[in-house]
Structure formats: C-alpha cells, structure tokens
Amino acid sequence: MWKFPPELEMLRETVRKMANEVIAPRAAEIDLAGEFPWDIKDLFQRQGIFSVAFPESFGGCEARHTATCLAVEEVARVCASSSLILQVQALGATPILIAGTEEQKTKYCIPLAAGEKLCAFALTEPGAGSDAAAMLTTAELRGDTYILNGLKHFISNATVADIFCIFAMTDRSKGTRGITAFIVEKDFPGFRIGRVEKKMGIRGSPTAEVVLIDCQVPRENLLGNEGEGFKIAMKTLDGSRAVIAAQAVGIAQAGLDFAIKYSKERVQFGSPIAQLQGIQFMLADMAAQVEAARALTYHAAALADEGSPHLSYIAAAAKLMASDTAMRVTTDAIQVAGGYGYMTEFPAERYMRDAKITQIYEGTNQIQRLVIARQLLK
C-alpha cells in the first residue's frame, strides 16, 4: 500500500470510512435504479470532499491531483457511479482552472469547490469523438455575445450540472486551432438537455446530449482566447486521465477483494477453492496487476501536481494500464465465482460492467496507445 503525506492519508481514511459505511450499502440500489444519487452528492458536499480537486485558494490542497485520485479510488472501490460525481466535477472545473480569468475562477470555482453547484465537460459529438477537429458545433461572435449552435454527445452528469465547459468551432479553416472553449450556464437562452442515454454500466451517472440552438453566451464567458480550446481540452484530459486510472484501480481492487473473499468461503471437493493452486495463481496475477496499475496511476498524479512536461505520456500509460487491468481483474473475479459471479445478486458482474467504460471515455485506449507512441517517437 502506497504511503502519502499525513494530510493525504487522513483524506484517504476519511473517504474510505465514508465509502464503506454509507456508499457501499447504496451501490447496488444506485446501479439498479439508474438514478443520480443526490444523497451521496450531499454527503460529499457536507464533508467538503469536492474541494480536493481545487487549489488551496479554493479550500483544496497543494497536491490536488493526487488527492482527487485518492478520493476517487476509494469511492470507486464500492460504487463507480458515485466516484463519477467527484471525477466529473474535477474534469469540468479544470478548463476554468487552466485558462480562466481571476473573475471567472472566483465566480465559478468557489461554488464548485463547495459542492454548491455541479459542472460538466462537453467536447464529444456524435461524429467527433477521438477526432475533435470533426466537431460541428459552432460559435459566432455577435456584438458582445457568442451564439453557439450544435449538439454535444455522451456528456457525463449533463442532466444534473449547472455549469458546462463547452468547446465549439470559431474558425473551421484552422482545424483544431479553430476550436474555442466557453463557460456555459444551464439557464443561458438556447441551452437544453437532449436524449438521456441508457448504459451498460455506471448507471447512476447520467449521460445525455447537450443541445445548443442559438445559445447565447456572454463574451466574458470565453475561456482563454479564440482558438485555444483544443489546447485547453488536451491539457485538461492529461490531468484527468490519472483520475480515470484511479477509478479503474478502485474497481479492480473491488474485483480482487471479492474474489479473495469468495474463494475462501466457497467449498468444492471438500475444501475452500482458495486452496486450489489454479485459483491461487489467478489471485496472484490479479493482485500484481492491481499493484502495478496503482503505482503508475499515482506516478501520473504526482507528475500532474508537479506540472511535469512528461505528464501526457505517463497519464496515457496509466489510463491504459489501469483500465485494461480493471477489465481483466473483474472478468477473472467472475470466473473465480463461477455461476454465482454471473448472477446480479453478487457485485462482480457490476464491477465488470463499470470497468468497461474506463477503457473508452476520456480517450479510448487506442488513442492512449497513439499518444504513447507519438511521445516515444519524438
């Protein structure tokens, strides 16, 4: 187990206790109902957990990326949907922290750090996932107002967020250099929520479309300068990929814990299956993979806190390694439990369903391999 400075160890123990005592008993119900757990959101707000993703000036801590990873891992270990409340808050706020003016940070980051408002990150479109340059959403400046038109797709927490960081084309001829970022409030004229998706996993985290029809965004809500949106988005994702890796590690740890417990209780051929060498080797491989993924994840988090130029490479590697590990370990956990692992009365199948998305969102693992290869070949 990794050791961190006392304040981060205290955070981890606090979140772990909260996760075990309050969130874990709700996890199966959250998944079954497929509804956003407002009670868990309120719990995070009361305990001041939202602030960990923000700098000290907003009530957070110096090592905010590591702190966010610790909190997300501990929550994901019992409920991936609940961990997304923290993960998406950090993701949505990061563009403001990166490129926002002091006025923008004061206006938006204070209520976000306090958990008084929720935010979301809106980059993906139906025809523009990995290929951001293919986005069709446009922004046109008319006087002191930008007019946004387009459709954003697969937006986490869209139905519950108050504030959105949205990316749109201001000059299509420039490709990715024509992408611009905006802070958009849900009450702006022309903004609405479209279709809500039904998903295989993370069912308690709402995913929906954001529809922009002549959406009016004040000029002062421009993030950075025109044409800097792609750079802001990529820098955001570099830091956030460590958090997705932490989420994957938490899910993988849950699968490992389940497999160990079940193997010691399940009796076949007159003794617990944990005494079978075939099962022991599976558990050993699962544990080694989890530990390796965790080490790489917190290495990436530390680089993010340092502002390291090597973050993009290591964050991509961490996200790739941790999410692939989560899928392998949760699949093996089901195998250890046999037929019972396939039943919904046991949590292993939920772990596997939740693990799959970590290989897809915030850049598919094929994109992570592309990022890694480009860095290697520079």
* Residue 69 · residue 301 · CB < 8 Å: yes
* CB-count exposure of residue 276 (10 Å: 0-12, 13-18, 19+): middle
d(CA 378, CA 375): 5
The candidate with the shortest Cα–Cα distance to 69, out of 286, 284, 248, is 248
d(CA 19, CA 29): 15
Residue type at 110?
I
* Residue 17 · residue 74 · CB < 8 Å: no
Residue 295: CA atoms inside 13 Å, Cβ hemisphere, count? Answer: 7
Residue 252: CA atoms inside 13 Å, Cβ hemisphere, count? Answer: 31
340 Cα distance to chain centroid: 29
* Residue whose structure tokens are 């409920």: 79
* CB-count exposure of residue 23 (10 Å: 0-12, 13-18, 19+): buried
d(CA 167, CA 179): 7
The candidate with the shortest Cα–Cα distance to 154, out of 205, 115, 112, is 205
Lookup: tokens for 214 = 């002549």
Strand partners, 169: 138, 179
d(CA 100, CA 221): 9
Q: Which residues are catalytic?
A: 362
Longest Cα separation, the chain: 80
